[in-house]
Structure 1
Amino acid sequence: MDEIRSADPVLATYLEDADVRLWSQVHCHGDTYNLKTSNIAESINSALKPARGFSISFLLEFIREKLGKWCWKRREDALSLTSEHSRGVEHLLAIQSEIEDTMSVQPIDG
C-alpha cells in the first residue's frame, strides 16, 4: 500500500475505503473469476529443481530437453484430437450437455 500511496494517493485512499475482498485476491473468500493464483515462474522453478546446483551449460541443456519434451507431448496430444477442441474443452462441453438436458426453457412473455 505504501508503494501505491507514493504513486497515487487518491487511488490508495479509494482502495482503503473499498471492501478489500473486492480488489485483493488474498482476501477473497471464493475463486474469483476462476483465476489461478500460482504463476508460471513457480511452475518453471519446480520443473528445473533437479538441475539446480549444476553448471550453467548443464542447466541450459536441461531446459532445452525439458521444453522439447513438453512441445513434443503437446504436439502428439494435438495430433490425436478428434475435434477442433482440446480435451479439456470437450470435457466441459460434455458436462454442460448433461446439465442442459435437465433444464427447461420457459418464455418470458406471451
Structure 2
Amino acid sequence: MEQLANINSQVAMYITNVGFERWARAYSPGKRYNLTSSNIAEAMNNAIKVCMELPITGVIDCIRGVLQRWFYDRRTSAGKLKSTLTTKADVNIGVKDEKARYLMVYPITYYSFLVKDEDLDGTIDLTSKTCTCREFDMDGLPCEHALACIRV
C-alpha cells in the first residue's frame, strides 16, 4: 500500500476505504473457486450486440435465444464430464498434483501437516480445508500443499 500511496495517494486511500475484501482475494469472505472474473453483463452485451436495434420484443427474444443456447451448451458439456469438477479445475488440480509429488510432508496431527516447499512452506488442516498459503481457503480447491498431504 505504501508503494501505491507514493504513486497515487488518492487511489491508495480509495482502495483502503473500499475494504480489502472487495479487491484482494486473500481477504474475500467468499470462495471464488479460482475464478477471477464474473462479468456476465459484458458477455451478454457482446452476445446481443447484433439485436440491439430491434424492437423490445425482438431484443427479449434474442436474449432468450442466447440464454437457451448457453444453457444447452453448458448442460451438454457437463454431461460429458468424467468428474464432479469442471475440466479447467480438473486440469488445474492435475498440474498441482504433479508438483505435489516432490514436496516433503511432515505430520503434525492426524489431519494437520507441515509441507516443505522451496517457495512457500504450508501448514495444512484437512478437516477445516485450510492452508497457510491461503489458496485452499480461497479457491475451495486443494493447493499443492494439501494434495501432498492427501497422498500420505
Shorter-chain-normalised TM-score: which range?
0.5 to 0.7
Which residue does the alignment assign to 1:57? 57
Greater relative contact order (Cα < 8 A, sep 6+): 2
Query: CA 1:96–1:52 in 2, change beyond 3 Å: closer, same or farther?
Result: same
Which residue does the alignment assign to 1:39? 39
> Where do 4+ consecutive residues of structure 1 move more than 4 Å?
18-25
Query: CA 1:22–1:94 in 2, change beyond 3 Å: closer, same or farther?
Result: farther
TM-score (norm 2): 0.47
TM-score (norm 1): 0.62
Q: Deviations over 1:25-83 (max 9, x none)?
A: 9xx9xx83167466322222222111111111211111111111000000100110111
Quote the Cα distance in structure 1 between the aligned partners of 2:35 and 2:79: 28
Q: Report the RMSD for the aligned CA atoms in angstroms.
A: 3.1
Quote the Cα distance in structure 2 between the aligned partners of 1:20 and 1:75: 41
Quote the Cα distance in structure 2 between the aligned partners of 1:38 and 1:80: 24
Report the residue type matching 1:51 in the other structure.
Answer: C
Q: Which of the pair is proportionally richer in helix?
A: 1
Structure 1 spans left out of the alignment, 5+ residues: 1-15
**Between Structure 1 and Structure 2, how many residues are aligned?**
88
Structure 2 spans left out of the alignment, 5+ residues: 1-9, 26-33, 109-152
Which has the larger Rg? 1
Q: Which of the pair is proportionally richer in strand?
A: 2
